[in-house]
Amino acid sequence: MNQCESFLIGVGWLKDGDSFFSATPRREAPAFIVAWIMNACDSITLDGTTKPASVERGTYGHAQKMRAAMTYAFGRLHGLGDMPWHESEVLGSSRMLGNPSISVQVSTYMCSLRRRKVQAGEVAVSARAITSHLCLGPNKMSDIKPYYLWVLREEEAHLCAARALAEWIDASQITSGYLFRKIASGDRVAEANTPLVRAAVLQ
């Protein structure tokens, strides 16, 4: 939390002595969270230029921990829970409600960061645990036989289905039931064991 506030003060978005964390976050809170993670872990600077290769960058796993710290700070320490960030539905009110770390803006950024990390050849910890292949099936709902997904070489990591599947399991924390479930509001995986339907994917 102190590191985030120090960063915001350093870039001039927060006055010295002011607090970023509260039970009534400012409207631009999700953008501030993205900027903090971006500055520490991304290959892109805040002005959109590419960072020199010599500049040290945090891993995607570190970026996840930074976001988790924000989710905890707003959700637990300031009582905002896990309600997705949204505008109040009260007529005439422009107040933002919920946890700013659980917002479409932060979720979208984390997805784009993960894509850049994979393209750069970074392998998620969960993917490293796969020695050579994954065996899928059989499918109880059809006649599909078991089949294998082989781990591709490092230079083909961005095309590797086994790594992508491992990252999804790690991110969703699904250990039983449907592997691909309905997506709830705020880009969250639904807790109910409800399958993701084709129509939702095509939207």
What does the pLDDT look like over 2-43, one tens digit per residue? Answer: 999 999 999 999 998 899 999 999 999 999 999 999 999 999
Residue recorded with tokens 């509001």: 185
63 burial via Cβ count (<10 Å: 0-12, 13-18, 19+): buried
> Token digits for 179?
């592997």
Each residue's pLDDT tens digit, 64-114: 899 999 999 999 999 999 888 998 888 777 889 999 999 989 989 998 898
Residue with tokens 């809170």: 29
Angstrom distance (rounded) from CA 191 to CA 72: 19
Q: Which of 147, 127, 117 is nearest to 42 (CA)?
A: 117
Provide the pLDDT confidence category of residue 123 given band limits of 50, 70 and 90: low
Q: What is this structure's pTM?
A: 0.62
Average pLDDT over residues 125-134: 48
Structural contact between residues 96 and 80, judged by C-beta atoms closer than 8 angstroms:
no
pLDDT at residue 118 in the model: 82
